[in-house]
Structure 1
Amino acid sequence: MNKPPLANQYEDDRHFITAIARGLDVLACFRSGNKVLGNQEIAQRCKLPKSTVSRITYTLTRLGYLTHDEESSKYQLGMATLSLGVGLLAKLDIRQVARPLMQTLADETQGMVTLGTRDRLSMLYLENCRSRSALTLSMDVGARIPIVSTAMGRAYLAEIPLQEREEIFGRVRELDEQASDALMVGIASSLSDYERLGCTCSFGDWQKDVNAIAVGLDLGRQFPVMAISCGGPSFHLSESFLLDEARPKLLDIVRRLKETVGQPA
């Protein structure tokens, strides 16, 4: 599901500064798999006039948030963008503790183990460990996946307060009311799974040939709510294997991470 431009979501809010939102929308276009973009591509993604995008990219380039390649007339993220995430990454030192635990599970399951948090209606990969097998999915840190159809997104939804969850559901319905009905059924089932199994499941819901389970990770107010998932191709990681073999180990990782920061398991 594509993320709606920030400016469009709050157009009736008199405290909302549309120009800033549009600039942030432009920066958000540069995802893991789209490192170089032209004004036309950005305009299509942000649903803005090309002339408006040209002024925004010019401004962001002058400030160092984008760099411009004269030969191709395209842009990529500049070094100033890195400074925006430094404070958050400093808070996420938990990744250093999680990484070896995640890599062990990835090797044991020959799957992919990922730590992520929410970015609007997506889950953003913060850490990703693959097995040394060639069977894992090709996705890197910085990649985004849907929040409503993936195990990771559903685990995040199960972990957050009801009010925040309902707000997200409302935004999903605004985007596609018809499709959201089916998605809500899947989410309701996942919330039930979370109560019963301690994890959420997505067996072919996101991509028909991908199975995954996930557990929410709430480490207290100094961290964003996160989720850890374990998954991979369905022909390699069956539902029973993930639930019987991977689930206890995934729950143990969450328990150990909570103990690291002094949170009750």
Structure 2
Amino acid sequence: MATTLARGLSVLRAFRTTDNGLTNAELAARCGLPKSTISRLTWTLRELGYLTRAEGEDRFRPGPSLVAVGHVAASSLSFIEPAEGLMNELATQSGTLVLLAVRNFDRMIVVRTWKPTNVYSRWMEVGHRLPLQQRSTAMAFAGALSPAEFAEIDHKLQPLGNHRLLPEEYQQARAELAERGFILNPGGSAPTKTYRSVSVPFRAAELDEPVVFSCGAPISEGSVAQFEHEVGPKLREAVLTLERLTGQTPKFDYED
């Protein structure tokens, strides 16, 4: 493990779309690193163009080099373009916020959203980080892993204790995906008191882990029955269509 590289990447991961720049002190708090270490990292990242800072300011923002890397990464994913029309249509039909999330160590991070028209949907934005406990995105991700993949990830996350994907949750997720093809989060209780969601995993040939498509809305805007019998099946069908369009297929059977 190249520790310095890992720390530098943790600085870049700390930024969120709602931030108006971050100071060294704020970055130190988010990364759990000493401020002196953060200062050296931000100086280096700024010199390389991965961070930028206006003259006279003490706040750093993502720089042009980081934007370029992100653009290349997004362009290399063949499923993003065909997903656009499918997920836009799904957002409009279901009245829910549709999102794409990927795993980043112990979090699921929102990397793309599709918003319904004339419906409030700013409760989750690109860059939002979702913990792995009892959320439909994380459960769908876990359920799409083979036993060997889950064991490898579980080994890496064991130091986190219960803040990781638990083996019993993994088995529950696989059973739910095998039964109906999506994970339902009914909402109304911790840790997701304010919104409901459904999630479906997707395996892309370019990636070594599944990604997750989800539909969600505040609990005041959709019943559990609606998500279970309408939104969930529509999301499942959209992902199946995306698989057909891109030639992707699951790498294993949920019941193996």
> TM-score over 0.5 for the alignment?
yes
2:92 paired with 1:111: no
**Which residue in 1 is equivalent to 2:203?**
218
Change (3 A) 1:219 1:75: closer
Moved more, 79-88 or 100-109: 79-88
2:114 to 129, 140, 146: 129
Which piece of structure 1 moves more, 90-99 or 186-195?
A: 186-195
Q: Choose the corresponding residue for 1:202, options 185, 205, 211.
A: 185
CA RMSD, 1 decimal: 2.4
CA distance in 2, matches of 1:60, 1:180: 30
Q: Give the Cα separation in 1 of the matches to 2:96 and 2:195.
A: 11
Q: By how many angstroms is 1:185 displaced?
A: 5.2
State the match for 2:81 in structure 1. Answer: 96
Stretches (4+) displaced over 4 A: 170-173, 183-188, 221-224
Distance change (3 Å), C-alpha of 1:133 and 1:167: farther
Residues 112, 131 of structure 1: 8 Å contact kept? yes
Q: Shift of residue 171 of structure 1?
A: 4.7
Q: Does the alignment pair 1:189 with 2:192? A: no
The Cα of 1:221 is off from its aligned counterpart by: 4.4
In the TM superposition, what whole-angstrom CA distance separates every residue of 1:132-175 from its partner, at most 9, and x where no partner exists?
23343432233322233321221111112223323433455422
Residue correspondence of structure 1 range 1-265 to structure 2 within 5 A = 16-177=1-162, 186-204=169-187, 205-221=190-206, 225-264=210-249
Spell out, residue by residue over 1:172-228, the C-alpha distance to the aligned partner (whole angstroms, 9 max, x if none): 542244x669x6655543332112111112222542121111111113346752111
Aligned residues: 248
Residues 191 and 200 in structure 1, CA contact (< 8 A), matched pair in contact too: no
- How far off is 1:52 after superposition? 1.5
1-side partners of 2:192 and 2:118: how far apart? Answer: 20
Q: Distance in 2 between matches of 1:207 and 1:165?
A: 24
1:75 positional shift = 0.8
Change (3 A) 1:77 1:221: closer
How far the C-alpha of 1:36 sits from its partner, in A, is: 0.6
CA displacement 1:8-64 (0-9 Å, x = unmatched): xxxxxxxx1111111111111112222411111111222222112111111111111
CA distance in 2, matches of 1:27, 1:221: 23
Distance 1:66 1:249 in 2: 40
Gaps of 5+ in 2: 251-256
Other structure's SS at 1:106 match: helix
Distance 2:198 2:242 in 1: 18
Q: Deviations over 1:82-140 (max 9, x none)?
A: 23223321222422211221122211221111122212122222321111233434322
Task: Tell me the distance in 2 between the aligned counterparts of 1:206 and 1:185.
Answer: 18
* SS in structure 1 at match of 2:139: helix
Residue identity matched to 2:181: G
- Structure-2 change in CA distance of 1:23 and 1:221 (3 Å): closer
Whole-Å separation in 1 of the counterparts to 2:168 and 2:129:
22
Separation (CA, whole Å) in 1 of partners of 2:186 and 2:155: 24
- CA 1:224–1:185 in structure 2 vs 1: closer, same or farther (change >3 Å)? closer
Structure 1 gap ranges (5+): 1-15
The answer on whether the counterparts of 2:132 and 2:164 sit within 8 Å (CA) in structure 1 is: no
Amino-acid identity (%):
29
Higher mean C-alpha displacement, 110-119 vs 213-222: 213-222
**TM-score calculated relative to the size of structure 1:** 0.83
